[in-house]
Each structure stands twice: as structure tokens, then as C-alpha cells.
Amino acid sequence: MTIKPLEDRVLLKPVEVREERTRAGLYLPETSQEGPAEAEVIAVGTDETIPVKAGDHVLIAKFAGTELRVNGIPMLLVNKSDLLAVVDRAGAAAGEEGTEAARAVAAGA
């Protein structure tokens, strides 16, 4: 089965996030963690103002979108307004450039 999002919708595949541990050694499942979730963009709707493309990794609102299964794989269909940010892994790997960007964000620039 193939899904082609319409208009301003984006089809996402949630990224598996490893469980985190507390200092006491207890595991915290993803469902108990605060904050947005990360997902990979699979397909983009026909709206040309959507700022992502297939293959991008994005942060989305925690309970955004409609859950569905495509060929047995869990997916999310969200509106472009549910996209919070694009995750740029290359910037973090660049070393000093990533550090400067982090400082700018922390400083409110």
C-alpha cells in the first residue's frame, strides 16, 4: 500500500528512541518522557510551502497527528503546523560550528 499525503500533510515514520535511565538505574520508557518526538519524513503533501523533504528528520508535537500502519510499519500523518523543527545531524558533527550554533540558541540569538 502506498500513501500520498494531500495538501499540507506530511507522512512520518517515528524514530525509535532508546529508553533513558535515571541515576538510580531505573529505565524511563519513551511514553513517560517530556518533550517532542523525533520522526523521519517519508512523504510530503502537495503544498509547496512545506519546509521539509523525504528523508529529513523532524521534531513533532508529542501527541500530534493520526496514527496508522502502512505495510505493518507504524506511521503518523500530521499537518505541517505540527512540525516543530528539522533535526540537522550534520551541524552537530561539524564540531565547532555546532557548538557555536548551540551557544547562539542558548543566548537567545
Domains of the chain plus CATH, in order, are: 9-107 (2.30.33.40)
- Beta-carbon contacts of 102 under 8 Å, excluding residues fewer than 6 positions away, are none
Is the pLDDT confidence value at 99 over 50? Answer: no
Neighbours of 44 (CB within 10 A): 20
- Per-range mean pLDDT, top range of 9-18, 43-52, 85-94: 43-52
Q: Rounded to an integer, what distance in angstroms lies between the CA atom of residue 83 and that of residue 43?
A: 14
Report pLDDT for 15. 87
Q: Rounded to an integer, what distance in angstroms lies between the CA atom of residue 1 and that of residue 25?
A: 42
Average pLDDT, integer, range 55-71: 92
Q: Rounded to an integer, what distance in angstroms lies between the CA atom of residue 56 and that of residue 11?
A: 11
Q: For residue 59, what is its C-alpha cell?
A: 521534531
Report pLDDT for 57. 95
Task: Find out whether 58 and 12 touch, Cβ atoms under 8 Å.
Answer: yes
Report pLDDT for 27. 74
**Cα–Cα nearest to 64, from 52, 45, 80:** 80
Q: If pLDDT is split at 50, 70 and 90, which confidence band does 30 have?
A: low
